[in-house]
Chain A
Amino acid sequence: MAEVGPGGMGRIRRTVQFAALLITNGYWPGLGRIAIYSGPAKGVCVPFLNCYSCPAALFACPLGSLQSMLAAARTLPLYVSGMMLAAGFAVGRLFCGWLCPYGLLQEALALPRARRVRLPRWIRAPKYVLLALVVLLPVVWVSAGAGVPFFCKFICPAGTLEGGLVLALGRPELRVNIGWLFAWKVAVLTLFLALMPFIYRVFCRTACPLGAFYGLFNQVSLWRIERDRSRCRGCGTCVEVCPVGVPVVEKPNHPECIRCLECVKACPYGALAFTMTEVGKQGSGGTPRISNFKVRNGR
C-alpha cells in the first residue's frame, strides 16, 4: 500500500475508497457467473469511472453512458451531463480522490517515491484533448449507422481491467471475438499499470477525461479549499505533502487537485479548509513567497 501522507488523511480516505469500491461493485454473484447485473440500479450513473460491463458493477459509468447516448441519439444527454455538472459544481474533483476505484488501484500500486515525482506541465494536456474527443467523436465518427464510443473502445484501461479482461477470461464464447482492438487495449492497460508504481495517479493526471472535466470546476465548486491569508505563513508544508504536485499556496483549487485533503490536514497553522464558506477575506497580505520564507527561517 502506498505511503500515507504526514497528515494521516490516508487512513480515512482509504476506508472511504474501499467502501465506495465495495458498494459500486457489490454484485458478487456476477463475478461467479460472469454475467453483468441488469437491475434498476444500473440506470444510476456514479460520478466516477466504473465500467458498467464489469460483472460486479451495480451502477453505470458516466463516461460510457455519455458516449453511448451521444453515439445513439446525437443530442446532448441531459441526464448524464446534468449529473456530471451537478457533481462538478458541488465538489469538483473530490470524487477522484475519495471514491474512484481506479484511483484506489493507482494509489495501491504506487511506491512511496511516486508521490515525489513532478510531471512536466505539457503532460496534463492529453486528458483535455481526450475530453474534447469523448464529446465530439461519438457524434461525428459514425460507423455502421451508429457513433463510436471512442474512449471506451480505444483507451479506457479501467474498462479493460474491470470488464474486458474479466469477461474475456470468464466467457469462452467471447474469446473468439478477440482481435487487434483487444490487444491494443491490453497494451494501454499494461502501459499504465507499469507506470503506476513510479508516477502517482498517472492515469488521472495524464489521460482521464472525467478528471479533466471535474478539474474545470475546482475553482468554482461549492465546496472548495480555502486559504486563510491571515494564518498562512507560506511554510510550504502543503506543497510538500501534495501527492500530485499542486502549488497549494498560490492556487489551492488547481485543476490538478484531486482533493485528497492532505494539505488541509498537514497545515501547521490551520490556514487551509475544505469548506463551502469564504474564509480569510479579512486577513492581510497576499500570496506569501515560499522560497523567501524558507530562506528567512533557515530551512
Chain B
Amino acid sequence: MGCDIIVEEKHHVASRTKNKYTKNEYTGLPRKTGLALRFTGLWEGRCLRQFRGRRLAWAGLVAGVLLMAAGMARGEFIAVLYKASRICLECIGVG
C-alpha cells in the first residue's frame, strides 16, 4: 500500500519533470515556446474554416488590392512617381 503511494509519487514527479518544458506549469496546457508558434494560422490548414470569421477583412483586403490595380491602370503610379521624384519645397516647409 505504502509502496504504491511512493511509486505513484515518483511517477507523478517524473511526469511533472518531463512536462516542465512542454506544458505550462500553471495551466497544464501545452506550452508555446516562441513567437513563431503563435503565427500558426496559415500553416494549420484552418484558413477556409476560419474564413467566415474574417469575411470583412478579406473583403476589405481584396477591395484594397482592386483599388490599387484600378489606380495603377489610371496612371496614378506614374503620378506618384512624378511627385516623389522631385523635391517638394512646400512639403518640407522650405518653400
Give A residues with C-beta under 8 Å from B.
Answer: 9, 12, 36-38, 40, 42-43, 45, 51-53, 59-61, 64-65, 68-69, 72-73, 77-90, 148-149, 152-154, 156, 159-160, 163-164, 167-168, 174, 177-178, 181-182, 184-186, 217, 220-223, 231, 233, 261, 264-265, 268-270, 273-278
B5 beta carbon closer than 8 Å to chain A: no
- Bound together, the chains give a CA A6 to CA B57 distance in angstroms of 31
- Bound together, the chains give a CA A184 to CA B39 distance in angstroms of 44
Residues of B within 8 A of A84 (CB): 64
Contact check, A264 vs B38: say whether CB atoms are below 8 A apart.
Answer: yes
Q: State which of A52, A80, A159, A233 has its C-beta within 8 Å of the C-beta of B93.
A: A159
* Chain B binding surface SS class: helix
Contact check, B57 vs A270: say whether CB atoms are below 8 A apart.
Answer: no
Contact check, A64 vs B91: say whether CB atoms are below 8 A apart.
Answer: yes
Q: How large is the interface on B (under 10, 10 to 19, 20 to 34, 35 or more residues)?
A: 35 or more
Q: How far is the CB of B70 from chain A (nearest CB, A)?
A: 5
Contact check, A88 vs B71: say whether CB atoms are below 8 A apart.
Answer: no
Contact check, B63 vs A85: say whether CB atoms are below 8 A apart.
Answer: yes
- Bound together, the chains give a CA A111 to CA B89 distance in angstroms of 34
Contact check, A42 vs B84: say whether CB atoms are below 8 A apart.
Answer: yes
Cβ < 8 Å to A, chain B residues 41-63: 41-42, 44, 46-47, 50, 53-54, 56-58, 60-61, 63
Chain B CB within 10 Å, residue with most, of A59, A86, A276 = A276
Cβ < 8 Å to A, chain B residues 28-47: 29, 31-32, 35, 38-42, 44, 46-47
Contact check, B94 vs A167: say whether CB atoms are below 8 A apart.
Answer: yes
Contact check, B39 vs A77: say whether CB atoms are below 8 A apart.
Answer: no
Contact check, A163 vs B84: say whether CB atoms are below 8 A apart.
Answer: no
Q: State which of A52, A148, A273, A275 has its C-beta within 8 Å of the C-beta of B84.
A: A52
Contact check, A78 vs B27: say whether CB atoms are below 8 A apart.
Answer: no
Residues of B within 8 A of A264 (CB): 35, 38
Contact check, A185 vs B35: say whether CB atoms are below 8 A apart.
Answer: no
A68-B88, A79-B71, A79-B72 known; A269 vs B94 contact (CB < 8 Å): no
Contact check, B87 vs A36: say whether CB atoms are below 8 A apart.
Answer: yes
Residues of A within 8 A of B68 (CB): 78-79, 82-83, 86
Q: State which of A80, A148, A270, A277 has its C-beta within 8 Å of the C-beta of B80.
A: A80
A42-B84, A86-B68, A269-B24 known; A222 vs B61 contact (CB < 8 Å): yes
A64-B84, A79-B76 known; A89 vs B91 contact (CB < 8 Å): no
Residues of B within 8 A of A89 (CB): 56-57, 60-61, 63-64
Contact check, A265 vs B35: say whether CB atoms are below 8 A apart.
Answer: yes
Instruction: Give the nearest-CB partner of B59 in chain A.
Output: A89
Residues of B within 8 A of A178 (CB): 94
Contact check, B78 vs A43: say whether CB atoms are below 8 A apart.
Answer: yes
A64-B84, A152-B88, A268-B26 known; A85 vs B67 contact (CB < 8 Å): yes
Contact check, B84 vs A270: say whether CB atoms are below 8 A apart.
Answer: no
Contact check, B56 vs A220: say whether CB atoms are below 8 A apart.
Answer: yes
B6 beta carbon closer than 8 Å to chain A: no
Q: A42-B80, A79-B76, A277-B47 are in contact. List 19 more A-B contacts (CB 8 A).
A: A36-B87, A43-B80, A64-B91, A65-B84, A68-B88, A73-B79, A78-B71, A78-B74, A79-B80, A80-B80, A81-B67, A82-B71, A85-B67, A90-B57, A221-B57, A261-B35, A268-B24, A273-B40, A277-B46
Residues of A within 8 A of B14 (CB): none
Residues of A within 8 A of B71 (CB): 77-82
Q: State which of A40, A43, A152, A278 has its C-beta within 8 Å of the C-beta of B50.
A: A278
